[in-house]
Structure 1
Amino acid sequence: MIDLITGKTKSGKTTLIKEKIKTVQNPVIILDFKNDFDDVQTKTINLGLIDPFLSPMNYKDAVAINSGLVEYSQFLAERSQEVLKDFCLEEDWKEFKMNDLIDEALKRATNGWNQHENAKAKESRRFLNFKKSKQELILEDEINKIEQTDIVVIKTEGLHSIQTRVLSFLLLSRLQEKFPSITVVSDNINYLWRDGHLFSFSKIFDFEKNNLLLSFNKTENFPKRLKQHIKNVFIFKLENNSDVDFFKQFNIPIDAKAKRFRQGKYVEYNLNDILINEPEIQMA
């Protein structure tokens, strides 16, 4: 399920998130790519130090990587499926892992007859180069450090946004397999949650089972594909009338007055109920 937190920059959204994660029981994964959570004393994982290809991959890994790379295309996942079926029985291919799965899939895509796929494969190779001297950590080792009650801050130093999305999706997919559910925090990271990338990722990541606290400055950045998973909304000072119109589709009684909220003021709604409250948080 999703808690959608919307409002202008410095309206109080990040402060609310920090309060909410204190009471969460499952692992909290904070995607802190803008260093807004440096004051959270907890474990840290730097995606910029991980080479995902130091460990074997399976089909779900291929889908996660495919989702991070390209929008509305499943070429890498489909080619990976072909490779896996060549190496194991068809009933086992979804779970079978192999070291060079992605490389073999890219070779097939590059050498195939589909020119669009050829171009995508060639372009993808430069974003799947994680062989820098500092990128020597193994993904499984980092995941094994995470325990049920942990709050983990994820950094992404030195990575292109596409590489960050690839590794983020791969990490979340793997963590979903380890824990019954996880809580994911994303504060104004628009490039992670585009509909085109969620086209494939939503096939392997359970947005109902897991909890997501997604914060956006503008509602136009919230992906249409995830609307059905929204459970709660937290509305801070809004940017414009289009934000007001966004919430009206859920029958939320919000109007232009929300554009004049004080810093720290917000209203909270549960989409299954009526207005819960109108609290105000104290800004530091």
Structure 2
Amino acid sequence: MTNTQYILLALFCLFVFNGFSQTQIDTTKRVYVPLKTFKEKFKSKDSIGFFVDKHKDTLIRINNYEAPKGIAVPYEYKDSTFLQQYEKVAFKIKHKDSADTHTMKYWKDDIKIFFSERIPRNVVKNIMIFTNRIDSEVDSLHIYQVKHLEQSNYVIYTDKDYQYLNGLKHYKRSEAWTYWNHKNQIDRVYLRLYSPEIITEKLQSQMIKNLFFNTLGYFNLDNELGCENYLSNCYSADNKQLTTLDLEILKYHYSYGICKGTTRNTFREQHRQCKEALNKSNALSLFYHN
């Protein structure tokens, strides 16, 4: 099978994503599908031949193939070690005996941050340097400050400010509450600092960074990661930095080479199919974001 042929898998994502660089893929060339997929998706008149690959699998060539509506993005390969780490932070367990997880969450809209007047200017400046780096490193994630509350979808304030979210006002710790829509897209966050536990501007900055990074994907924190990582379940005012691992996981979370808003089991099955196609026939799998 040549590199211009494609094994088509049932990898159709649910939503259209705008504002990201994309590679246009010519799917008018010779296209094959596994026999099982052909029986499920096509009729006998659609076939113009077949061949049996080296693994004894029958592949059916499709006549007058029309690509699904949406934007086709190639599957982004990652090794098993990285995927295991990604799964640990991206998918929240429903309960200890559950066979699957809640769906992963992500931002689709720009993140527009409003700071209350009690957040010191130096802290605001420090946070925006931090978010600007994330913005520059991660495609499809855009973050900036706004001056008015009504323009925002991300509010950062303290326990001494007006309490923008009633559910947080009695907390005796700094906390962030994340909201998302029915498409698993995060659309609003309230981040509240608890003054007694953060008495310096340095501590304020670090606490905001810790909570902010977590709300970029409603991530879990990992007990096994080094304390320097923002995805580590370890608080540090001095050692935290945007590590290579933090950025790689964030870039992957916002990659279009995977489907958004899935559970862990769906995520695993899609990767299994893509890797199987790659190993068997050196075939390129496509995700259609529609």
Give the TM-score range, shorter chain. Answer: under 0.3
More helix by percentage: 1
Under a length normalisation based on structure 1, what TM-score does the superposition of the two structures give? 0.27
Larger radius of gyration: 2
